[in-house]
Amino acid sequence: MNVLQKLASPGLKTLSRNGLVRHSSHFVYQPDGKPPVEGPTQKMNMFQAINQAMDIALEQNDSALVFGEDVAFGGVFRCSMGLQKKYGKHRVFNTPLCEQGIAGFAIGVANTGAQAIAEMQFADYIFPAFDQIVNEAAKYRYRSGNLYDCGSLTFRAPCGAVGHGACYHSQSPEAYFAHTPGLKVVVPRGPNKAKGLLLACVKDSDPCIVFEPKTLYRAAVEEVPVAAFESPIGKADVLRTGTDITLVGWGTQIHVLQEVANMAKTQLDVSCEVIDLVSILPWDKETICNSVKKTGRVLIAHEAPLTNGFGAELAATIQEECFLHLESPVLRVTGWDTPFPHVFEPFYIPDKHRCLAGIRKLINY
């Protein structure tokens, strides 16, 4: 294979100065085995599935609004392509570059009964809106004695590693919001989950945040039902059954763990149960604990830093609920306690090699 052939090969990007080929991602996407509901399907990537979900929401409810920075022409990831042309500038529109203002406006229109779908251009930029989301949206029902609420309020936010995002375009901030009663937080692993979760969030009675792994927008492709459907919030998915160890992740990381499960079986003869948590808040304690009680070992992997990452909550609960069933300590394989790096991203993310080393450590404990 010559240089040009290498450059043209699928899954490969560019040659560096030393002649080595850089792989385009740290995971191999694993599509769902079958669509979540019966009926006609269409092959879509994740941003197309999200676009269709917003299209359905706008069509089904005349009060539904889609807004955010640059969404009028489709947004930086093209998720809202064509929606303004179809539904008009009064329902799909750009906002100023002010996340706090986007959140405040979203809370206001949701309180009037409208369905608000607000886009934060990157999850890294959601922090200026933090006060509005955790102190206003999340508490509105409680502080009004259930007279008012922010139901039908959904924030979409692209998150996670993308290969070149560095510290302002790669973060995974789900744990910050998981500490806030009154919110719901979900992370899809692909097109079907993205569509189903977004439609469920739009109709939910509490404000929701959908963190969308941006590297999956184009890399994730599945057969997606054309009709509207909802994926349950608060329910984890067991993607692979096993007997020796439980692997728990969400978003992009679930594809890393599925590849790791294959490697563990081939190299170590270890049977892994792979669970996609799907929902960060609320999270499915029953499914996780039942699996750990069966396998006796658990590895939790996420891209966010180790300290106070959401894996810590899982680990604490597993220790409380499954202590007498554990054959080894709960192990977390995560990002490091540093800002998200640029050129050192391959060393930061919990890739298959780090996760496999974790499995080996648990089995040999």
Catalytic residues: 99, 169
Q: Which of 196, 354, 171 lies closest to 279 in space, CA to CA? A: 196
Contact 154, 207 (CB under 8 A): yes
- β-pairing verdict for 208-213 and 12-15: unpaired
Residue 56 to residue 168: CA distance in whole angstroms: 32
Q: Which of 307, 313, 314, 315 lies closest to 334 in space, CA to CA? A: 307
Q: 99: buried, middle or exposed (CB in 10 Å: 19+, 13-18, 0-12)?
A: buried
Contact 174, 14 (CB under 8 A): no
Residue 99 to residue 128: CA distance in whole angstroms: 6
Q: Which residue in the block uniquely carries the two structure tokens 């509005």?
A: 132
